[in-house]
Chain A
């Protein structure tokens, strides 16, 4: 066993050794160790290099607030995790860890030249240095900064792990399983109440795990803890460990990130690595305790310098002495106990140095009894040692005078600048803080959330205070939940309440301008930087923060914020409460992207809706494209075909014989009721009253602003029943808009809307042979020009299936849309496919559909329109029922701007050089005008068209309808293309092909 492990102390299981590696070297720890505690047990303090100066650093804390000891952990390909806090990562057999920010090695690091150039890298360095010459930015400065920036190395492989998420609803969520949180649960628990306690550590207990000396209700603290946990579990209280409350959101919603497998030596099947819990609690108790503040003095970052409370945790929870000859320096009583515990564990404490002139008699007595030298009214002015602290220089202070320094040899320096309540989650609620003069810190004050703070989180120190306050807060929330709560009276022996004074940087006899007295360890911000920021004009604490980056590292200023505030306030000559605190934001600790993504990754990234015919398309080699939430077959390439070739073939065969197309994604709404026709009259531009049953019509839907929102063919199935179709992407939006008008503007109408998008599979047949193919399968109507003309619809039977048959065309060819109940869609498709073989039927996708409709000048809403296009702009004034007294958009169309000259209007474009234009390309009238040119429109659709014998395009052009035959210009990166403005119909303008 190493000389730093203390038998009989700690909760680690020394009978279960665990081997792991750090920077390739093997170490042995014990079951229950963190990486940090195991390394310290091996005498290793050097765990990393700092970000900016590459200074050697060790663990300064023992918990999640650790800023220095960031490591990479690895368990195979894709499972490398940078920036893991060594203080939180539990060891397991075979764990591989590496230090960061070093080259070539942690001990010999070339980046450490930055430390020698310290004076160059002070606050605002980047702003001052990388200013000029401007041309250096792209090639010199930015690459330099990028190379230097970034913490840790991101893995390049895909993450093979699964991540999970769950919702959890409870009556009471308690954050923190320390004495206050446990007491709150005990006081609040009642039959039927759902209570959850969450703690980020591997085991519940909080500060009790570091204070085994206490006796609670006559029991040793750890025995009491075991009993208490058993009682809570028996009462149904849920205790979640390794789970961090990362954010506190509106209406008592908290996000918890649970680390499920990072502590396990092997990965269990079907188990996510992390799970995000979205918790909604009726009441919340924040019992997160307090964070210890470092003292700010020259050399306070040397490995071996750490928080006194952390040293106490390493000793009492992990059974590790952080040094054999430590010195304690403090301004708070609590650190004295760390000295006492270490002395009792066999270390030789060299001195307890306290900045205060007077200290409680019992502490003085105990130090004397243990033989620990004490120095009051002293300051620390320097430390020595290269990769580990080896000495500390202390000086007496008398008033403002700092006396001569004296060197004390040591192998660890334990410091405490007092304690700050953990305010982060409370601050997420936009809760107000109140300054406490006695504690010289902010305390939680008011919040809108149903939330109370218990224990050290509101400035109460000691186990008894935490238990008493926790119980009181527990009863308070129980009352809010309508329960009486449970009485609790606790007695605590060997409690360690304490007090202290708050410090800015410690006084020194040396030039403070040369002191490397760190405030923010992770971002290498010193007291000097903060004072410089104020001297250079920063007045707001928010500006000081951004100029210096104090509190902006991944530890979110857990240790640095209050020290930074005290120093900035001193430099500003204003009291701290007037300077205020910067904002804490979620997440409380760094959280993986995987945890945020949860199940939404890979194949499950987002909802992908598929039609019943989708499997056929997939089996026939379709290439798909997303349209809204749907995936649709874009084209069906045959072997050796690219998209262009396939689409040309699909178009050609459709126009020559017959094509089959899956139109199931079209939105469908059944409009039913005696007032159906009134509703349709009001919603759509077109007139509907005279549309007979069994007829359909192209409908245009506007917003009340007069712009096109959607379109589709609408059939009248019965007097009071319309079959409305919408665009694929617009279905939900149109339904929402219709419901809005119906529910809130016209609630008197007796008409109801039902989405039938997914009731029907819709198969479109188009081409000269479409009727011939379909007719033998249809019962109930003759597919002749007289019996079933263009724009007719009927309920009939197709291939023995109940169907709604529409004679419509989106291609200019004879066209039908067959709707059958969705599960029958694939069967009908295959019947038509087989029957169509004699005609050389072709399956076409959305790309060919786009070409075929563009050849006829049919618009796609959202492609040829952009939300600022009126029916008149689109050349569709014919669809507007001008005689109707009102419809949605009628008044909008009369707005002066919509009737003005010079609006962008939809036209056709034919390029003079017969090249295909780029969709989205901008159009100008005069290609020779100076840059920036006046853009007068853009290309909305552009395709190769075999039917037109050349590339065709649709475009929105300023005043386009009055510019037929004029030439416009489309400047491209390599050339300018000239194109002639034409009408929008490129094929069969007389519609002769629609006739059977």
Chain B
């Protein structure tokens, strides 16, 4: 992907929309879909990702000149793992219920390709503060897509939003929305919609794969 945009505003637009990690670059799907059945889980999970992406980008940008090129992947992985451990410990201490729901997926933030990708593509060649901003906006692009998937799944699967019943009693929950396939369908439809709008606006469309 191009890193020609160096202005904070452009970075925001790129990461949230034209180069959105999920539907344009197809990155970080692994840990993304399993947590989208309830909005509150998704919210906490994506906040964790925003934190880890931002902080690891910042750290990599600060110490990039100290890391020998050959071992930089290992060093980046360890930096990311360090922040993920912080997130895990905080969740266990303050939100044990959600930590149990998320299960192994908190640990899987480590192998989330978005974080590694941003550290490699952006933080390696940019100043610390801009890298922090890039990490946060990438995380927010991820958050936006996941929250919209979770919104549909929780609304139709449980008739609720953030655990509060919003649909009337007579509503028949869609069992499919609670099960994994629906996440694939929704992400497919979102990808479709996103690309369609971008074609219409005449934005240069990055090939997703």
Question: Do A and B share a complex?
Answer: no
A residues apposed to B, CB below 8 Å = none
Interface residues of B, Cβ cutoff 8 Å to A: none
